[in-house]
Chains A and B, each alone.
Chain A
């Protein structure tokens, strides 16, 4: 035992208590007392127990005696001296300084650590180096990304108020997790207002679009991947696809995890995360991704501009090349007409910001060949007296109980009905016209008019005369509305429901109407004004001999009638054939059913006038000479020489002046030739407008107006007959606008056709992702053009199948005739591209994980850029693409008017 320390005999072994906090200070000397220190570390040597002082032992009582209780481990056998009489030990021990055990030290250290930790946390949380939160810097889990770095000073900019409660602490279930997250996400919308559409309505739904519409697009296929199925279940979807239509709210933080550093990618998203909600799941882009052919990518909709690549490259450009004319795109090779990729850049320019290939401007791409088309349109009668079967109508009115007539009316109104005046008529007159139109009763042919339509016809006539009367007024006090000129026209347009009122009379010069008034003659105008004023007091012209105003062959020298000798009574019942003869006595002051020739300075003076187009004949009576064919011309023209080959009455001056004194003649202007650049002009008492070229603001405004709601009979009639679309889709009256600019139908929620919008702008920088066919798909031409040329993806379809031609997808000639099929070809989806479908395999050659990557987000965006999220892109486009068109109109309206002087000059030339 000598070489061992421990004696395992129980009498020689002390009972150690390592769990206690203190040990005797004499332990290191092997002299620890048997009592040991107390729990507080106080030495108990000499401590009294029951009044007895302890020493090496605490003697025990045995009967009447005290016996030593010293044990072997602390001193050996009982001492010889024995206990003191009071029971105290006689062998006192020196007190010691107890030492703490390791356990106690460790306990103290743990408490210190805990206290210091709490103190540290309190210090950190109480420290507010920046405003807006408790211990902002301390509890900030990490730097924000660069885009959000300016928000770091205030937590509450992104975190809604902290409202803690027991119920929320207990509600530790994922279903209840999101209410604060949504509240926080609402704060995101303070800056990201574009998310979720108007008011962020769909900001927290899948793809930030209407869940019902999203669900409608779901295919409902089963999920093939059990792991994803489980993930979907964990995501809260009880059934596959539920998330898309369940309306479950997704907080921004669901995908965008902040506080991961300045350079963190907030848009990091894996393909599997995309697919967890999608019905159709697949392994990768090259394995399982839907083919483009199935979704007609990228040409799933009609082009905004009608441009047949095939015909241009196979026909037009080669012809131009032969003629060495301008208009052939640079890079075009006549011997390889379909190698057009070499010349793509002539019309398509890449946009570095959007990554799109935009169509260059009209001036760069089209003007060389098509500029003349935009100016070659027919003139459009805007304001004037329409042709009226005055005799027939007067005869009906004479048979009324109160016989009356229509009073003064120009005898030779042009054949072109100025449809636009229908918008300027009083409401009841317009309603009367609509009733007549419904019964196919037209003013120029009233021979067989039924008695029940007479009142409507009469109202239309008086409505036109009222319009004329009010437009004749030169001061607001002269009209019932208190407005004149443009203001009066705009007032009437507003009453007719026109929103783009200013654009509809864009650039109308005042002297155009002045010339119209002069053309009719002051007396005639005065008579009409008097008749209208009387009509407005319910006094109708008497049923007396019918006359119509005769138009002068030259309105260049209107003059007040002198004695009214230039009026000729018209032949009753055939106003159009009544030509003027001096009839001073026949001029009643407010004659009913009169027709007038324009006043001339002198009855014997006649001036030659050019033959009006279409063989029309105008004229004042020609006392001396009549043109061949029974036509007579008679307008004063001081010294005008007749054009070659035509005969005119000798001018009055010539009859009195010596023939030798030949004064220079000023021929009347041929207005059609004069107005080849378009604009306003007056011709034979009617104000016309002709296209001024590409992007004519007035024609744009009118076309947009009439196409906005084709259910309106007035607009429908204006479109078909006023603009001449009943003669073909490419009405020259509109400057051939719709030859290139395609239209797109608009339908209401019931699918009924309501109107159409015109694609004024080609695909370009104005075309936002929201208005593209697939707003969730993106493709950057810029990055791809570095590695490939256009032909690798866009392969020309040289021989399309029958009925699959590009042009077959657009309204052609004759398709406008019947309202029922106007838009039958205007559907966006009805389209046959000039190019072959792009195959997915073309993209998959490079888009693999090892090469260019195949992340979903490379080609798809999550957030829908459309404000309220479309159910279907085609539907969305139909309802929203009116906006860019209107914007275009507004721009056009604000655009400085085309040189007004030219227009005014054109119109002012008599």
Chain B
């Protein structure tokens, strides 16, 4: 068992113990006719705020507040615990009030986006590594431009050598749209290489009609298509790795605001203030 497996097992056990303890306390509070919703509500709010601190921690990298990986581990497992605490707080019932429904929907969105993010951050990085040369996301536009320029240079050289515009025509009709376009995250829905494979197939078909001297250029273009495939996959995958936070973080702010209002209303009208 490697380090990560051990860590996962340890944290999972800790999370399960936390859930069991929370459930036991909740049951006892219910039996004891104590306001269990108040206690679980405070616990849930504290958990959400603690989870939200992870984002703040990322903005303060210079502070010696544990390692980011430790924060992430806490964020993941405390997130699971908060989901369970939410179920306890709601009494395993669907909310019926307007404010409560909004709050529950926000929590569900944040929780689901968090779960989705967890799976994305666990599944995509290995795929990115397997895909080819790992790239910095911010540099991808530059690389894409460089690749397109390189392809155009190859095509121009080929035309110059052959004195034919056949290669240029092929480029304009088939290769240019591919190399000029940017991939979206939907590329990941399905076979990410499907575009590249289609282009390569067309190149193979076209290759039969080329002169010997142009076959070498075509081999260079095949290499560029392969790099473009990697570039597109890197772009889509890394974009998705960032985009899920577009749901998770903004809704977290909304969640905290609504949760605070809900706590105030509950405490005031519930006779606790």
Contact = CB atoms under 8 A, between A and B. Distances in A.
A106 B143 contact: no
A669 B259 CA distance: 96
A625 interface: no
Given A143-B96, A178-B271, A253-B270, A232 B32 contact: yes
B140 to A, nearest CB: 8
A55 to B, nearest CB: 20
A228 interface: yes
B95 interface: yes
A384 B97 CA distance: 80
A141 B97 contact: yes
Contact of A5 (B31, B32, B227): B227
Interface in B102-141: 102, 133, 135-139, 141
A174 interface: yes
A142 B136 contact: no
A692 B124 CA distance: 102
B58 to A, nearest CB: 9
B98 A138 contact: yes
Given A139-B269, A141-B100, A113 B34 contact: no
A627 to B, nearest CB: 88
Contacts of A3: 223, 227
Interface in A254-296: 254-255, 259-261, 270, 272-273, 276
A660 interface: no
Interface string B240-273: 0011011001110110011001000110111111
B72 interface: no
A666 interface: no
A382 B105 CA distance: 85
A30 B261 CA distance: 49
B32 A235 contact: yes
Contact of B250 (A29, A30, A110): A110
Contact of A6 (B34, B139, B273): B139
A253 B31 contact: no
A121 B258 contact: yes
A863 to B, nearest CB: 15
Interface residues of A, number: 75
Interface stretch (A77-85, A161-169, A457-465, A562-570): A161-169
A276 B146 contact: no
B29 interface: yes
Nearest to A275: B31
Contact of A180 (B95, B139, B144, B272): B272
Contacts, number: 165
Contacts of B93: 260
B71 to A, nearest CB: 17
Please indicate which of the listed interface residues A125, A140, A260 has the most CB atoms of chain B within 10 Å of its own CB.
A140
A121 B223 contact: no
Contact of B273 (A16, A169, A182): A169
B257 A114 contact: yes
A273 B30 contact: yes
B265 to A, nearest CB: 5
A559 interface: no
B142 interface: yes
Contact of A142 (B28, B96, B141, B258): B96
A117 interface: yes
A27 B30 contact: no
Max chain A Cβ within 10 angstroms of own Cβ: one of B42, B93, B142, B269: B269
A155 interface: yes
Contacts of A5: 133, 135, 139, 143, 146-147, 227, 231
B38 interface: yes
Contacts of A168: 273
Nearest to A230: B28
A140 B97 contact: yes
Nearest to B106: A117
B114 to A, nearest CB: 15
B257 to A, nearest CB: 5
Contacts of A18: 137-138
Nearest to B97: A141
Top 5 A-B residue pairs of the complex, sorted by shortest distance between their CB atoms:
A142-B96, A181-B271, A235-B32, A113-B250, A180-B271
Given A102-B239, A236-B34, 12 more contacts: A30-B149, A106-B250, A125-B261, A139-B99, A141-B99, A141-B266, A159-B271, A177-B35, A178-B271, A182-B271, A260-B96, A272-B31
11 contacts: A102-B243, A112-B250, A113-B253, A121-B258, A124-B99, A141-B265, A141-B266, A142-B95, A177-B38, A179-B271, A236-B34
